Structure 1
Amino acid sequence: MNNGRYDHIDDQELLRRYLQEHDSSWLGILLERYTLLLFGVCMKYLKDETQAQDAVQQVFLKVIQEVHKYRIDYFKSWLYTVAKNHCLTMLRDKKRMVPVELTADNPVAARDEEVPEQEAISPELLKDALDALSVEQRQSVILFYLEKKSYQEISASEGYSLLQVKSYIQNGKRNLKLLIQKMLKKAKNENG
């Protein structure tokens, strides 16, 4: 398909057509639109052109396999998140320390003075902090932030009310942030 012929069709419409018609060419047009974005994201994290190119291909495969599992309101944002998470997983698998991007939707931290932006959080530290949460908070935070489940999906799968889910996520996010700050401070004091 000639991509220029479809510039007038927005992302959501292309995604809708793909999901309804099961015609992979619609998804192909959509992914082609964001190839450069994906490559840029992968370069940002991996800092290696060959690895970034491989990662883009792996993200494409992941999208093809998983796009039907999610309710996607903004394809570009969702795709960015998939790419970022894929790169962070690659880095974690290499047992490197990964810098945590401090954004509003990151469960680990929001911008404040207590967690420096350059602070590196190891996967082990994150796991320890998650393990220290209550079962309900841990499960809700993992499902919401890592598995991208909606409040409704968490409520249905875990048997919590929507208010409980909201509370577990908010409190879990806050507690996770405090635990990580405490663990980092403790590690800093022990090491120096």
Structure 2
Amino acid sequence: MTDRDELERIIARVALQDRKAFGQLYERTQAKLFGICLRILRSRAEAEDALQEVYVRVWHNADRYQVLGLSPMTWLITIARNHAIDLLRRRRVAERSGQAPIAEAMEQPDASPGPEALTLARSDGDLLRACLGELEPERSEAVQGAYMFGFTYAELADRYAVPLNTMRTWLRRSLQRLKECMSR
């Protein structure tokens, strides 16, 4: 049985409110999901709180997971990523008056690799970085800003001084190129 099959089986048991299966799911996935939350939120305390909320959502929505050709990790990562980005956006709205400009926030260096970076290095991280390197620098930065740091399309359009629809086109085409590169 593959890891994917095992995770699907565990999620099916979680949908039946099986606490033991929920513990197994947590043990198998918490490091990666925590890494994603930490990378987006950049605060260990906030990432821990976000991770707890992610698993509450998984517990309540496991019955909605259906095998449609998507991996269970994709489903879990999407829940974690979307929740962390929602928290980040709420924080930005609350701190809007004293917040650093977007350009400064995007350029702040993170000297140490986070848990997500370490996890990605063990899976498709090297390939993803290589594929991002094939994009034009502005496109690569825009993709990372949108999907790793939670910037909105409008914020990115302002940052790069392009119309909103142009930014949408940049991101859509860049994602298509990344998909093609990742499937080589």
How does the TM-score come out when normalised to structure 2? Answer: 0.50
Q: Which has the higher contact order (CA 8 A, sep 6+)?
A: 2
The answer to whether residue 140 in structure 2 is matched with residue 117 in structure 1 is yes
SS in 1 for 2:92: coil
Aligned residue among 9, 12, 19 for 1:13: 9
Report if the CA contact (8 A) 2:14-2:59 is conserved: no
1:58 has 2:53 as partner? yes
CA 1:17/1:93 → structure 2, altered by over 3 Å: closer, same or farther?
Answer: same
Contact kept in structure 2, 1:125 and 1:180, CA below 8 Å? no
- Of residues 30, 33, 47, the one that matches 1:35 is 30
SS at match of 1:118: helix
Instruction: Give the Å deviation of 1:94.
Output: 1.8
1:18 alignment partner AA: V
Q: Partner amino acid for 1:118?
A: E
One-letter identity of the residue aligned with 2:77: Y
Partner of 2:42: 47
Partner in structure 1 of residue 87 of structure 2: 90
Residue 140 of structure 2 aligns to a residue whose secondary structure is coil
User: Can you list the C-alpha shifts for 1:109-164, whole angstroms capped at 9, x where unaligned?
Assistant: xx8438522234653728x9xxxxxxxxxxxxxxxxxxxxxxxxxxxxxxxxxxxx
Residue equivalent to 1:133 = none
Between Structure 1 and Structure 2, whose CA radius of gyration is higher?
1
Is the counterpart of residue 76 in structure 1 residue 73 in structure 2?
A: yes
When the two structures are superposed, what TM-score results if normalisation uses the length of structure 1? 0.48
Residue 52 of structure 1: CA displacement? 1.0
Deviation at 1:180, TM superposition (A): 3.2
Judged with a 3 Å threshold, the aligned counterparts in structure 2 of structure 1 residues 115 and 177 are, in CA distance, closer, same or farther, namely farther
Distance across 2 between alignment mates of 1:114 and 1:37: 27
Structure 2 residue ranges without an equivalent (≥5): 94-101, 107-133, 158-163, 171-184
Query: Could you say which residue in structure 1 is the equivalent of 2:121?
Result: none
Look up the SS of the partner of 1:81 in the other structure.
Answer: helix
> Greater share of helix residues, 1 or 2?
2
Give the counterpart letter for 1:54 in structure 2: D
Question: C-alpha deviations, 1:85-118, integer Å up to 9, x for none?
Answer: 111111111227597xxxxxxxxxxx84385222
Question: Contact 1:55/1:86 (CA < 8 Å) preserved in 2?
Answer: yes
